[in-house]
C-alpha cells in the first residue's frame, strides 16, 4: 500500500497529466502569445481542438494543422472550415517522405505508427498514411521560420524532429513541444535521445509543469516514462525562456550550464 501511494505521489509530483487546461500546456500558449508568434505548426492536430485553442489566444497567427488519418482529417477540416488562418494538411510528420501503416484505436484519439501494447479488441483497424519531412514542407511552401512546433504524434516525435533537422540546425524554429511517455518504450526513443539531439542543435530542454517550464539538464532519474510534455527552446531566445520558466530556476540553470561550459 505504501509503495502504491509512493508511485501515485510521484506521478502527481512529476505532472503525469494530459489535461491541457491544468497540466501547463495552456500556460505555455498564454505565455507564448505575449511574443506575437506569426506561424505555428500543430503536428498531430486530430480533430482540431488544440489548433482552435491556439487561435483563441493567438488570433493573428497562421497555423498549419497536420493530421494524416483520412477519417479524422475530414472531421478536422469541418471543424476548421471557417478559420482562414488555420490550414489543415492531410499528412503526418516524419523523418522522410514515405507511406506507412498506422494503428487506429476505437477511441479515435489514439493512432500510432507504433504498437501501443493495447488489447487487440481495442484496435479498430490499420490504414496507410502519407508522411512528410518537415524541412520538405517548409521549403515547398516557402516558409522561412516557425515560432512554435507542437508535436503530439503518439511516439513519432523524435522522427518528426529529425525531419525538421535543417531548420533546427539553422535556428529557424524557436520552440518545439513534444510528448514523452510510455509509448517511448515501444518507439525505443528515450528522453536521453531527445536531450542529446536538441542540445546538439543548441536548444534548452525543460519539462512542462502547471505554472512553468522547468529547464533542467538530463538525469537518469528523469527517464521515468511519465511524461507527458517537454519543451525545447533556442538558447538565443532568452526572453522566451525566462517567460516560460521560473526566473530563479532559469538563472540557476544558466549558471550551471555556464560552469559546465567554462
Mean pLDDT of 187-209: 97
The percent of residues above 90 in pLDDT, for the chain, comes to 72
How far, in Å, CA of 121 to CA of 82, rounded? Answer: 37
Looking at residue 13, its pLDDT comes to 53
On whether the pTM is more than 0.75, the answer is: yes
Mean pLDDT of 28-33: 96
Q: Which of 210, 214, 224 lies closest to 30 in space, CA to CA?
A: 210
Mean pLDDT of 119-139: 82
Beta bridge partners of 149: 41, 176
> Which of the two residues, 123 and 36, has the higher pLDDT score?
36
Would you say 40 and 146 are in contact if contact means Cβ atoms under 8 Å apart? yes
Pull the grid cell for residue 172. Answer: 529557424
pLDDT tens digits for 53-84?
A: 999 999 999 999 999 999 999 999 999 999 99
Would you say 21 and 211 are in contact if contact means Cβ atoms under 8 Å apart? no
- What DSSP string runs through 185-241? HHHT--HHHHHHHHHHHTEEEEEE-SS-EEE----GGG-SS---EEEEEETT-HHHH
Q: Which of 197, 238, 193 lies closest to 215 in space, CA to CA?
A: 238
Domains defined for the chain, CATH in brackets? 2-261 (3.40.50.150)
- Cα 123 from chain centre: 24
> Which of the two residues, 112 and 155, has the higher pLDDT score?
155
pLDDT tens digits for 208-230?
A: 999 999 999 999 999 999 889 99
pLDDT tens digits for 100-110?
A: 988 776 555 55
Amino acid at each position: 500500500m505504501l509503495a502504491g501511494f509512493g508511485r501515485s505521489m510521484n506521478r502527481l509530483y512529476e505532472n503525469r497529466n494530459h489535461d491541457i487546461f491544468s497540466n501547463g500546456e495552456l500556460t505555455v500558449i498564454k505565455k507564448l502569445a505575449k511574443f506575437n508568434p506569426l506561424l505555428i505548426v500543430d503536428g498531430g492536430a486530430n480533430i482540431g481542438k488544440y489548433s482552435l485553442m491556439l487561435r483563441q489566444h493567438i488570433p493573428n497567427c497562421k497555423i498549419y494543422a497536420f493530421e494524416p488519418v483520412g477519417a479524422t482529417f475530414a472531421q478536422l477540416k469541418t471543424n476548421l472550415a471557417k478559420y482562414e488562418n488555420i490550414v489543415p494538411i492531410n499528412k503526418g510528420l516524419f523523418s522522410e517522405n514515405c507511406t506507412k501503416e498506422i494503428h487506429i484505436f476505437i477511441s479515435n484519439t489514439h493512432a500510432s505508427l507504433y504498437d501501443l501494447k493495447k488489447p487487440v479488441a481495442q484496435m479498430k483497424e490499420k490504414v496507410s498514411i502519407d508522411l512528410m519531412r518537415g524541412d520538405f514542407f517548409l521549403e515547398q511552401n516557402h516558409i522561412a521560420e516557425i515560432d512554435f512546433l507542437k508535436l503530439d504524434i503518439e511516439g513519432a516525435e523524435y522522427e518528426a524532429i529529425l525531419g525538421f533537422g535543417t531548420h533546427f540546425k539553422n535556428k529557424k524554429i524557436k520552440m518545439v513541444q513534444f510528448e514523452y511517455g510510455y509509448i517511448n518504450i515501444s518507439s525505443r526513443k528515450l528522453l536521453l535521445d531527445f536531450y542529446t539531439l536538441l542540445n546538439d542543435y543548441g536548444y534548452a530542454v525543460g519539462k512542462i509543469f502547471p505554472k512553468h517550464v522547468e529547464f533542467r539538464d538530463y538525469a537518469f532519474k528523469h527517464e521515468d516514462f511519465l511524461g507527458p510534455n517537454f519543451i525545447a527552446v533556442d538558447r538565443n531566445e532568452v526572453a522566451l525562456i525566462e517567460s516560460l520558466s521560473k526566473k530563479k530556476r532559469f538563472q540557476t540553470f544558466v549558471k550551471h550550464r555556464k560552469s559546465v561550459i567554462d
